[in-house]
């Protein structure tokens, strides 16, 4: 056994990262919440006792009870099931939008940043243009053209959210272009396509991942918001924003559960995603490295 203990210590990056993440209590809470909701979404049909769109005129606007954990809405539909199915809707829309906008933003941002010059200028002005339009307006315009519904919703949010990722990816690429190891790789003969894929992309991924996780929460909020104003998801599909919209008028008359439970679901999911995103950012922070 030699005394070269520095070489002896074989701490792989994975276990070190896990340690940092687990030591941050809030991120663990966030990760747990997100995991629970994903589980709910997947196991939806098994967990929901009553089909979410089953109308029952005998139990309209019932307050929470043992039969209906979250109460019923104005059509007698079980709110508990609706909220569970709402998780499926929101999370699947969220995943689709986030995954595609991340891929698109990553591709465009990285290439634009690496090539630089006029191409970069042109692409970035285009991105600026897109970002100038609020996502709600874009959604409304698209809804007018294509009609409302989930497809429109997804496309509208995709158009609005890839730009954020593109900006981050481009910024990281610009600074990585100057880094020592990119220069060194050029020195050994690396082509730009090789450098982009093997050296720049792996380093651009972490901040993009963090940003995507945080934007997931935004997507859920936007989905709820757009459905609330009637553009997004159409009834009778269960969606949290839509449920709130339908129950809005009953707050005054005392049927608080119609707005409370979906609202709570939105709050918890978004908070969980934000905490998870913060935790991921801490792991990827180079200052945490030993």
Partner 1 sequence: MNRLLSVNNLNVVFNTFDGVSRVLRDISLEVGECESLGIVGETGSGKSVLSQSIMGILPVPGKIISGSIFFKGENLLSLSSKKMGKIRGAGLSMILQSPMTSLNPLFKVKEQMIEVLKTHSRLNNKEAVYRAEELLRIVRVPEAKSVLERYPFELSGGMAQRVMIAMAVSCNPALIIADEPTTALDVTVEKQIIKLMRDIMRRFNSSLIWISHDLDVVKQVCGKIAVMYGGIIVEIGSTEDILSQPLHPYTRALMDSQPSVSKRGRPLQSIEGFVPNMLNIPDGCIFDCRCLEKSGDCCQGTPPALVELDNGRRVACRKYL
Partner 2 sequence: MVKPILSTCKLKKLFPVGRGVWNKPKAYVNALDKVDLDIMGCTTFGLLGESGCGKTTLAQLITRLQEPTSGTIWYKGHDITKMKGRDLRENRIYSQIQIVFQNPAEVLSPRRTIDFLLKEPLKINKVYEKEIEIEQKIEELLDKVNLRPELLTRFPHQLSGGQQQRICIARALSLNPDFIVLDEPTSALDVSVQAKILNLLVELQQKERLTYLLVTHDIRVAEYICTDIAVMYLGEIVEILKAEEFRQNAKHPYSKLLIESANTECEEKDFDLKVLDDPPSPINLPKGCRFQARCPVSIPICSTIHPELKKISDGTKCRCHRVTDN
Contact set with partner 2 (CB under 8 A)? 6-7, 9-11, 13, 179-181, 183-192, 194, 199, 202-203, 286, 289-290
Quote the CA–CA distance of 221 and 232 in Å, as a whole number: 12
Least Å distance, CB 4 to partner 1, is: 6
Closest CA to 276 of 36, 88, 1: 36
How far is the CA of 71 from the CAs of 45, 50, 243, 256, in angstroms?
Answer: 18, 12, 13, 10
Part of the chain binding partner 1 (CB under 8 A), chosen from 4-12, 94-102, 217-225, 232-240: 4-12
Sign of the CA dihedral running 199, 203, 204, 209: positive
* 180 contact, one of partner 1, partner 2, none, CB 5-8 Å limit per kind: partner 2
**Min CB(204)–partner 2 separation in Å:** 11
> Does residue 3 touch partner 1 according to CB under 8 A?
yes
Report yes or no: 16 and 290 within 8 Å, Cβ to Cβ.
Answer: yes
Does residue 1 bind partner 1 (CB under 8 A)? no
- DSSP for residue 63: P
Report if residue 125 touches partner 1, rule: CB under 8 A: no
Residue 194: contacted member of partner 1, partner 2, none (CB under 5 to 8 Å, by partner type): partner 2
3 contact choice in partner 1, partner 2, none (CB below 5 to 8 Å, kind-dependent) = partner 1
CB of 179 or CB of 249, closer to partner 2: 179
**N- to C-terminal Cα distance for the chain?**
24
Residue 191: phi and psi, rounded to 5, are: -80, 165
């Amino acid at each position: 056994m030699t005394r070269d203990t520095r070489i002896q210590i074989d701490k792989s990056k994975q276990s070190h990262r896990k340690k940092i993440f687990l030591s941050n209590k809030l991120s663990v809470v966030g990760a747990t919440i997100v995991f629970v909701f994903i589980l709910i979404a997947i196991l939806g049909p098994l967990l929901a006792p009553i089909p979410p769109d089953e109308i029952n005129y005998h139990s309209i606007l019932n307050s929470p009870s043992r039969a209906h954990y979250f109460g019923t809405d104005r059509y007698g539909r079980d709110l508990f099931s609706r909220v569970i199915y709402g998780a499926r809707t929101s999370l699947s829309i969220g995943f689709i939008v986030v995954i595609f906008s991340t891929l698109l933003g990553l591709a465009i941002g990285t290439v634009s940043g690496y090539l630089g010059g006029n191409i970069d200028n042109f692409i970035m002005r285009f991105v600026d243009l897109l970002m100038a339009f609020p996502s709600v307006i874009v959604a409304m315009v698209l809804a007018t053209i294509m009609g409302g519904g989930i497809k429109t919703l997804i496309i509208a949010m995709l158009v609005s959210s890839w730009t954020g990722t593109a900006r981050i990816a481009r910024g990281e690429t610009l600074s990585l272009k100057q880094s020592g190891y990119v220069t060194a790789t050029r020195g050994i003969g690396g082509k730009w396509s090789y450098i982009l894929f093997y050296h720049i992309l792996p380093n651009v991924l972490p901040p993009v991942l963090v940003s995507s996780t945080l934007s997931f929460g935004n997507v859920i909020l936007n989905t709820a918001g757009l459905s609330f104003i009637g553009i997004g998801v159409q009834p009778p599909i269960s969606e949290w924003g839509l449920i709130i919209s339908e129950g809005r008028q009953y707050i005054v008359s005392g049927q608080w559960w119609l707005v409370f439970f979906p609202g709570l679901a939105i709050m918890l999911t978004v908070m969980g995603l934000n905490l998870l995103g913060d935790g991921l950012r801490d792991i990827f922070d180079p200052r945490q490295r030993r």
